[in-house]
């Protein structure tokens, strides 16, 4: 029962991650991992609900990133500035956290920051699965207009697609997914589960819906394989195993694509020599 949220969260990460990669917002995903870090530390430092602080700050941070840029796609300078500010705030909360004595919050903070999929309570499992399923359903519901707005935003706007609202809505969902994934792999390894399966899927197909399916499948496989490895090797942290498998899948996708490119370039050479 306690292992069950890993699969549901992984599928949500795969769907959200593919759209993040397609929209060139990987840096925003990286920033959200630090927002999760700061939110968890802030809640722990002030004795509040760590998971409540994690969800609130991550979703709010995602929306702020969208508001900072045009069409809800902030540029690297805006994200970098926000990145630095949120890290500075995290250092402040870390100082407050380490100077206060709260063993319960301390243990919870470590779980949130570094992942503890095997240590979730039954209630936490139920909440995680429900929210991951909701996020996945909403991502699939907005996938078609969001893909249109991503590929050609000007034409999409002319056709009546609410490009900016879609962008903000997607970032809010990304914040929810990031908060969920933080419980599985931790804030420090969050980007690996978001980007690696999606990057592998994008390397293997140019079709968006097939890419979405592959990304979700790769993320799910990474979660299952990682948890299996952590069970076989008890000293291996589940979060490290999950992200390690995801990274290996991306490396395999790179190697799988390389021979095809070489073959195409080899066929073109004789044509140019004529």
Two structure tokens written together for 88: 């500075």
pLDDT of residue 29: 83
pLDDT of residue 14: 94
Give which of 217, 245, 218 is closest to 230, Cα–Cα: 245
pLDDT of residue 96: 79
pLDDT of residue 273: 47
* Below-50 pLDDT ranges, the chain: 1-3, 103-104, 260-266, 272-274
Per-residue pLDDT reduced to its tens digit, 100-154: 655 445 555 555 566 667 667 778 788 888 999 999 999 999 999 999 998 888 8
Two structure tokens written together for 55: 């969800």
- Using H for helix, E for strand and C for coil, what is the string for 156-178? HHHCCCCHHHHHHHHHHHHHHHH
Q: Please state, in angstroms and rounded to a whole number, the distance separating the CA atoms of residues 24 and 159.
A: 23
pTM across the whole model: 0.82
């Amino acid at each position: 029962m306690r292992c069950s949220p890993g699969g549901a969260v992984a599928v949500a990460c795969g769907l959200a991650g593919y759209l993040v990669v397609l929209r060139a917002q990987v840096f925003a995903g990286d920033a959200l991992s630090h927002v999760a870090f700061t939110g968890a530390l802030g809640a722990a430092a002030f004795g509040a609900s760590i998971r409540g602080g994690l969800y609130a700050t991550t979703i709010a941070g995602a929306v702020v990133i969208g508001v900072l840029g045009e069409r809800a796609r902030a540029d690297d300078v805006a994200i970098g500035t926000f990145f630095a500010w949120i890290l500075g705030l995290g250092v402040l909360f870390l100082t407050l956290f380490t100077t206060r004595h709260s063993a319960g919050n301390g243990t919870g903070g470590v779980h949130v920051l570094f992942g503890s999929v095997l240590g979730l309570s039954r209630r936490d499992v139920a909440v995680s699965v429900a929210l991951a399923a909701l996020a996945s359903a909403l991502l699939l519901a907005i996938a078609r207009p969001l893909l249109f707005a991503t590929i050609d935003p000007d034409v999409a706007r002319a056709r009546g697609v609410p490009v900016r609202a879609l962008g903000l809505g997607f970032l809010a969902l990304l914040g929810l997914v990031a908060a969920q994934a933080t419980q599985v792999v931790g804030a420090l390894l969050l980007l690996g589960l978001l980007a690696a399966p999606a990057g592998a899927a994008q390397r293997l197909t140019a079709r968006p819906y097939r890419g979405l399916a592959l990304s979700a499948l790769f993320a799910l496989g990474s979660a299952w394989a990682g948890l299996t490895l952590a069970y076989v090797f008890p000293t291996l942290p589940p979060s490290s195993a999950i992200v390690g498998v995801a990274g290996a899948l991306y490396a395999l996708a790179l190697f799988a694509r390389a021979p095809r490119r070489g073959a195409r370039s080899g066929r073109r050479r004789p044509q140019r020599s004529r």
